[in-house]
Structure formats: C-alpha cells, structure tokens
C-alpha cells in the first residue's frame, strides 16, 4: 500500500542550523498493516510521517501510495487516500465550526466542495448514529462549536471523521500526547476498532511504550533519521514489554 524508497530530508541545507532529519529510509507497508513507530525526539518520525502525508517533500527518494507516485503531490491531493489525526486536537478540527459542519467537510474529503448545502436531516441522523458509538454522549450536541469540546472528545471525533469518506491510509501523529490517560485510552481503542473494521493501513507515532507494545501489527524503532529496528507481527508478539523499555535505556 505504501512504498517508501530511499528518502532523505534535510532542513536548512548549508546553514549552521542544518538538520538531517531523515537519512535514507526504505519502508514497505502492506495493505491492512498497522505500523507503530517509536523513537526519541529528533529521530525523524514526524518528518517521515509528514512526507507520507505530503506536508513536507523529500529531497531525494520516492513515495508510492496504492500504486500512485505521490512524491511531489501536495497534501490536499493525497486526501484521496489519506486521513490524518494530529498531535494537537486543534489541528484536526475547526473550532469555530459546529460538530456537524466538521463532519460534513470530512464526509466529502475525497470530493470537490461545491455550491450546494450538504447538511440535511438524513446526514445529521447518520452522523448522530456514528457519534453515539463513541459512548461520550456527544450525539445530541452536533450543533455545538467544536471549540467547546475537550481535547479527548475532539481527537475521538477526528478519528470518526477520518472514516466518513473512503479512506485507505490513516496517519496518527501522537494522537494521545495531549490527553489524560482515560481519554487517551478511549482514543486508542477507537483507533484500533476503526482500523480493524475498515481494514485501514495505519501508521502510529507514539512516545507511549505501553501503547507501542499493545497496539499494531508491526513495530519500528527510529533513530538519527534511520530505521534502527523493524519487527514484523510475529517478532512483535514475541517481544516483551521490558525489552521495549530497554531500547531506550
């Protein structure tokens, strides 16, 4: 589903603050795989994810998603395949717009936004039904501005929004970093269910080693812009939680 070939990314080339964020990564992710990436700060995880999403372009190398070469394609055109959940709950939703407005935009992620009014009673009921599966009691608040909700509620809704339209790849950039432990658990459980139900190919970046141990079918350790360890499903299930902590020892 995602083929990353020998990509490099350097910021501020030639200046004193030059950063070699990604130094030649090859990564081939099969359809339906749930890849978890861990690594210390500055290991290049976020840059790698940004290059898959298209908000950062690599200096060299290529990225192919579902057979299409997207190396130079801007992020807004990759939305055909990709849905994203950001670290900051503010980034994944529009605060001033109501919940239903946010869901409407998500429901037409892969289509042009035209001059017709798309929100009607059928759509509202459909969204209410979806939101009620979260069990957060938000289904009766769909006219409320997104900004009135907590970070955890917003992240959970962002996840639901990602499957409102056809979605093949789900990118999760530390989605629970800004959340309390209980909200974090709701978000991670929701993510896991959606990935399973919709057979999504997913990449999760996390600093939470317990999550890295619990979730996913593949585990990658990054360091200094390179893949240091790459464990497939079998190796990952053989891994003990303490081994994972030792990586960062």
Partner 1 sequence: MDFYLTALLQGLCFSGIALGIYISMKIFNIPDITTDGSYTLGAVVTAVLLTHHQPTYIILPVVIIAGGIAGAITGIIHTKLKINALLAGILVMTALYSVNLRLMGRSNLPLINVPSLFTLINISADANHNSFWILLCFVALITLIIGYLLKTDFGLAMRATGNSESMIRSLGVNTDRMKITGLALANALTALSGYLISQLQGYTDISMGIGIVIIGLGSVIIAETMINWLRITSVWLSLVLVLTGAIIFQFVLAITLDIGVDPIFLKVVTAVFVLLIVSLPRINFRTAK
Alpha-carbon span 189 to 124, nearest angstrom: 25
Q: Which residue in 82, 159, 179, 186 binds partner 1 (CB under 8 A)?
A: 82
Work out how close the CB of 222 gets to partner 1 at its nearest, in angstroms, rounded to a whole number. Answer: 22
**Cβ-contact 216, 236 below 8 angstroms:** yes
Q: What is the DSSP letter of 148?
A: G
Out of 56, 73, 90, 239, the only residue in the binding site for partner 1 (CB under 8 A) is 90
Q: Which is nearer to partner 1, 33 or 80 (CB)?
A: 80
Beta strand segments in 96-243, E: 169-173, 201-205, 218-223, 226-231
Q: How many CB atoms lie within 10 A of CB 111?
A: 12
Shortest distance (Å) from residue 40 CB to partner 1: 24
* 98 is a site residue for partner 1 (CB under 8 A): yes
Instruction: Please provide the distance, in angstroms rounded to a whole number, between the alpha carbons at the two ends of the chain.
Output: 33
User: Partners of 34 in the beta sheet?
Assistant: 202
Q: Which of 3, 5, 75, 224: binder of partner 1 (CB under 8 A)?
A: 75
> Based on the number of CB atoms within 10 Å of its own CB, is 183 exposed (0-12), middle (13-18) or buried (19 or more)?
buried
CB-wise, 116 or 122, nearer to partner 1? 116
Among 58, 92, 151, 175, binds partner 1 (CB under 8 A): 92
- Chosen residue from 12, 15, 115, 181 binding partner 1 by CB under 8 A: 115
**In the complex with partner 1, which residue's Cβ is closer, 115 or 238?**
115
Query: Do β-strands 34-39 and 60-65 pair in parallel, antiparallel, or remain unpaired?
Result: unpaired
Subset of 154-193 contacting partner 1 (CB under 8 A): none
Q: Does 153 bind partner 1 (CB under 8 A)?
A: no
Q: Which of 42, 39, 41, 61 is nearest to 51 (CA)?
A: 61
* Per-residue x/- track, 41-70, partner 1 (CB under 8 A): ------------x-x---------------
Q: Are strands 218-223 and 34-39 parallel, antiparallel or unpaired?
A: parallel
**Sign, CA torsion 184/186/188/191:** negative
Q: Which stretch binds partner 1 (CB under 8 A): 15-23, 75-83, 188-196, 198-206?
A: 75-83
Interaction between residue 228 and partner 1 (CB under 8 A): no
The angle at the Cα of 24, spanning 23 to 27, to the nearest 5 degrees, equals 130
Residues lying near partner 1 in the complex (CB under 8 A): 53, 55, 74-77, 79-80, 82-84, 86, 90-98, 101-102, 104-106, 108-111, 113-118, 143, 145
């Amino acid at each position: 589903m995602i083929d990353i070939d020998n990509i490099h990314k350097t910021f501020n080339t030639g200046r004193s603050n030059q950063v070699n964020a990604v130094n030649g990564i090859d990564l081939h992710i099969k359809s339906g795989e749930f890849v978890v990436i861990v690594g210390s700060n500055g290991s290049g995880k976020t840059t790698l994810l940004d290059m898959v999403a298209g908000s950062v372009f690599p200096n060299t190398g290529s990225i192919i998603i579902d057979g299409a070469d997207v190396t130079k394609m801007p992020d807004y055109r990759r939305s055909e395949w990709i849905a994203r959940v950001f670290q900051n709950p503010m980034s994944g939703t529009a605060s001033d717009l109501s919940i239903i407005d946010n869901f409407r935009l998500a429901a037409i992620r892969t289509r042009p936004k035209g001059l017709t009014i798309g929100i009607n009673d059928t759509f509202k009921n459909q969204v209410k039904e979806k939101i009620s599966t979260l069990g957060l009691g938000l289904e009766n608040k769909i006219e409320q501005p997104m900004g009135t909700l907590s970070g955890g509620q917003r992240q959970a809704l962002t996840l639901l929004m990602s499957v409102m339209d056809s979605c093949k790849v789900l990118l999760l950039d530390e989605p629970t970093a800004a959340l309390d432990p209980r909200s974090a658990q709701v978000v991670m459980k929701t993510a896991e269910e959606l990935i399973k139900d919709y057979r999504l190919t997913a990449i999760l970046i996390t600093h939470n080693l317990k999550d890295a141990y619990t979730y996913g079918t593949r585990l990658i350790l990054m360091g200094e812009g390179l893949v240091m360890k790459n464990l497939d499903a079998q190796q990952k299930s053989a891994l003990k939680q303490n081994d994972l902590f030792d990586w960062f020892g």
